[in-house]
């Protein structure tokens, strides 16, 4: 399953109760709300505002909380009621939000928040403004429990709400046509004496810039949330992942025990380099289709960057007697061949995937398949080397299992950014090198004519990397290739979890 951009430009403007009725399984909602108290020190005018808001909305505060089911799976929910003082956050509102977050943590429920708010309640001043810190603190503690937080940004979500709990989701979706932004356009116009440019704060624009993962109506978000929850719950069924064939040297065999590699290399290292560059060679998309089950692809960094060169995917992987959730961070060879260079944004997306795996306590599978990172003035000015270093450091700091899959080309720092996992699986004709062989030839010989020779000398091929201890399992290519790669990744996760005996030493054993 993939999160996709939906058409439509006009938000539905559902109330909080209506939103929950569309989002949750019929009849499953149970409120956690206690009656809201009167704010201490409230003026007569403010009390009248609260009374009118209650009469207009039917709610006693600007947020509803409780629990329910999505596709039969239990969740905790928070939904703003915009007709109650514009969904603004006062002290009583924050009390309800914090209490719900803490209750979700105690019950170990996934949390879904659906804000629609103009931000801080002006009638309560700075003390209301500071409630965003309280809410963020509660969410941080909740996420430290390795529980998932999904945000659905409704029309409008602005100000302090967007700058706190609206921007902290593991996955964030916006309503079609929603106004979503830090800056209130009315405030901007009043202070600057000019209109804020139209469309900048619309949900579709934010999607195109990597701030939200998708733009979906309520039905679409419900389906997406159900898919995410199903993957995380490990509800899929799959066959066991068997050990490699006993006849295969050093664990090289395929999952069916009959696809073991020959003991001698078929062709030269240079032949592998050429094979890895063929246009019809399988890549990330084929691996996800054949090696994994259901999947949800995230989009961008969540912080205004987006690159097609790299994908972050929540997916299910076969292992044991069923499936398990994993995070996949992969370099997309098809997108790179179409012109999407591996840039700073792509590296930032990869780091997002690493954080997601760590936050949710999920194994991380990285897929290395790139002709190399972007070489340009733009890349240098954006500190691409630092982005690569941050990826390597991020991988090394993970406390969850990690497996790198060398699938094809593995050139330079761009490849190394995703190769520093604890265990490594390699396709038969994959390779990993500090430079493309042509580049190495230029440095050593001053021309590209010695590329084939350098490829052999540097031992960049997958089989050589296996022999040298840098790769733990080699996977034969041909029919079923991508399925075998997925099964190999599952085995290497099991090794780290203590389910299988170590079979090799080496650098990253």
Look at the alpha carbons of 106, 107, 108, 112 in this order and tell me if their dihedral is positive or negative: negative
Looking only at the bridges linking them, the beta strands covering 364-370 and 30-31 are unpaired
Evaluate whether 313 touches 288 at the Cβ level (below 8 Å): yes
Report DSSP letters for 74-88, one per residue.
EEEEEEE-TTTGGG-
The answer to whether residues 124 and 91 touch, using CB atoms and an 8 Å cutoff, is yes
Residue 185: pLDDT band by 50, 70, 90 thresholds?
Answer: confident
What pLDDT does 376 receive? Answer: 95
pLDDT at 486: 97
Given a cut of 80, whether residue 459 has pLDDT beyond it is yes
Domain 16-233 has CATH 1.10.3720.10: no
Residues making up the chain, counted from first to last = 509
- In sequence order, the 6+-apart residues with CB closer than 8 A to the CB of 1 are 223, 224, 227, 294, 295, 296
Q: 333 Cβ partners below 8 Å, 6+ apart?
A: 281, 283, 284, 369, 370, 407, 408, 409
Provide the pLDDT for residue 39.
Answer: 83
pLDDT at residue 320, rounded to an integer: 60
pTM: 0.90
Name the 3-class secondary structure at 360. Answer: helix
| Mean local confidence (pLDDT), 18-35 | 96
| Residue 500 reports pLDDT greater than 90 | no
Of the pLDDT bands very low, low, confident and very high (cuts 50, 70, 90), residue 265 is: low
Would you state the pLDDT for residue 318?
86
Instruction: Tell me which CATH homologous superfamily contains domain 266-402+414-496.
Output: 2-enoyl-CoA Hydratase; Chain A, domain 1 (3.90.226.10)
The pair of three-digit structure tokens given for residue 201, joined into one six-digit string: 């704060």
Residues ≥6 apart with Cβ < 8 Å to 195: 185, 188, 189
Residue 137 and residue 176 in contact, taking contact as beta carbons nearer than 8 Å: no
- Residue bearing the bigger pLDDT, 484 or 261: 484
Task: Report how far residue 473's alpha carbon sits from residue 451's, in angstroms, rounded to the nearest whole number.
Answer: 26
pLDDT, tens digit, 9 for 90 and up, residues 412-449:
999 999 999 999 999 999 999 999 999 999 999 999 99
**pLDDT at 241 > cutoff 90:** no
pLDDT band for position 40 (cuts 50, 70, 90): confident
Q: What percent of the chain has pLDDT over 70?
A: 89
Confidence label for 260 from pLDDT (cuts 50, 70 and 90): low
What was the pLDDT predicted at 84?
96
> What was the pLDDT predicted at 248?
34
For residue 465 the two structure tokens come to: 């990397």
**CA atoms of 105 and 107, how far apart (whole Å):** 5
Query: What are the residue ranges of CATH 3.90.226.10 in the chain?
Result: 16-233, 266-402+414-496
Average pLDDT over residues 122-151: 96
User: Residue 488 above 80 pLDDT?
Assistant: yes
Candidate from 1-15, 29-43, 360-374, 384-398 with smallest mean pLDDT: 1-15
Q: How would residue 188 be classed by pLDDT, with cut points 50, 70 and 90?
A: confident
Residue 253 has pLDDT above 50, yes or no: no
Mean pLDDT of the chain: 90
- What gap in Å lies between CA 476 and CA 255, rounded to an integer? 10
Q: Is the pLDDT of residue 132 over 70?
A: yes
Identify the weakest region by mean pLDDT among 346-350, 401-405, 451-455. 451-455
From its phi and psi, is residue 333 left (phi > 0), alpha (psi between -120 and 50) or beta? Answer: alpha
Question: How confident is the model over 326-351, as pLDDT tens digits?
Answer: 999 999 999 999 999 999 999 999 99
Q: Reduced to 3 states, what is the DSSP secondary structure of residue 461?
A: strand
Torsion of CA 402, 406, 409, 411, to 10 degrees: 40
- pLDDT value at 245 more than 70: no
Dig out the tokens for 342 from the structure.
């591996």
How many angstroms separate the CA atoms of 487 and 485, rounded? 5
- Provide the token pair at 233: 């719950």
Query: Model confidence at 6, in pLDDT bands (50, 70, 90)?
Result: very low
Chain center to CA of 170? 7
């Amino acid at each position: 399953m993939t999160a996709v951009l939906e058409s439509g430009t006009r938000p539905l403007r559902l109330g909080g109760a209506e939103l929950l009725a569309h989002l949750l399984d019929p009849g499953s909602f149970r409120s956690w709300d206690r009656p809201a108290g009167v704010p201490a020190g409230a003026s007569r005018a403010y009390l009248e505002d609260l009374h009118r808001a209650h009469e207009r909305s039917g709610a006693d505060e600007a947020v509803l909380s409780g629990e329910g089911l999505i596709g039969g799976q239990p969740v905790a929910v928070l939904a703003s009621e915009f007709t109650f003082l514009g969904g603004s956050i006062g002290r009583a509102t924050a009390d309800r939000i914090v209490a719900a977050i803490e209750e979700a943590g105690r019950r170990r429920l996934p949390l879904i928040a659906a804000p629609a708010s103009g931000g801080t309640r002006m009638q309560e001043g700075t003390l209301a403004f500071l409630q965003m810190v309280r809410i963020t603190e509660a969410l941080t503690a909740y996420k430290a429990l390795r529980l998932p937080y999904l945000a659905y940004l409704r029309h409008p979500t602005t100000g302090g709400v967007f700058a706190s709990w609206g921007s902290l989701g593991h996955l964030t979706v916006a309503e079609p046509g929603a106004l979503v932004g830090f800056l209130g356009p009315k405030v901007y116009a009043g202070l600057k004496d000019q209109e804020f440019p139209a469309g900048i704060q619309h949900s579709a624009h934010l999607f195109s810039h990597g701030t939200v993962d998708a733009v979906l109506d309520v039905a679409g978000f419900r389906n997406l949330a159900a898919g995410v929850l199903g993957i995380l719950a490990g509800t899929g069924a799959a066959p066991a992942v068997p050990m490699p064939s006993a006849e295969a040297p050093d664990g090289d065999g395929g999952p069916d025990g009959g696809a073991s590699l020959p003991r001698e290399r078929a062709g030269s290292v240079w032949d592998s380099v050429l094979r890895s560059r063929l246009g019809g060679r399988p890549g990330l998309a084929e691996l996800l289709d054949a090696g994994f089950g259901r999947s949800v692809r995230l989009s961008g960094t969540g912080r205004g960057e987006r690159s097609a060169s790299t994908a972050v995917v929540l997916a299910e992987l076969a292992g044991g007697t069923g499936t398990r959730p994993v995070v996949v961070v992969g370099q997309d060879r098809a997108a790179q061949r179409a012109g999407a260079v591996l840039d700073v944004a792509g590296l930032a997306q990869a780091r997002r995937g690493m954080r997601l795996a760590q936050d949710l306590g999920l194994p991380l599978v990285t897929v290395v398949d790139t002709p190399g990172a972007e070489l340009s003035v733009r890349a240098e000015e954006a500190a691409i080397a630092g982005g690569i270093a941050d990826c390597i450091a991020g991988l090394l700091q993970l406390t969850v299992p990690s497996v790198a899959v060398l699938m094809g080309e593995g050139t330079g720092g761009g490849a190394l950014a995703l190769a520093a996992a604890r265990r490594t699986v390699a396709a038969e004709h994959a390779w990993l090198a500090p430079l493309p062989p042509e580049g190495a030839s230029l440095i050593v010989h001053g021309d590209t004519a010695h590329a084939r020779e350098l490829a052999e000398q540097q031992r960049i091929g997958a089989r050589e990397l296996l022999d040298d201890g840098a790769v733990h399992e080699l996977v034969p290519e041909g029919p079923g290739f991508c399925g075998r790669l997925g099964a190999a990744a599952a085995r290497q996760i099991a090794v780290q979890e203590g389910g299988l005996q170590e079979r090799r030493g080496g650098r990253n054993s």
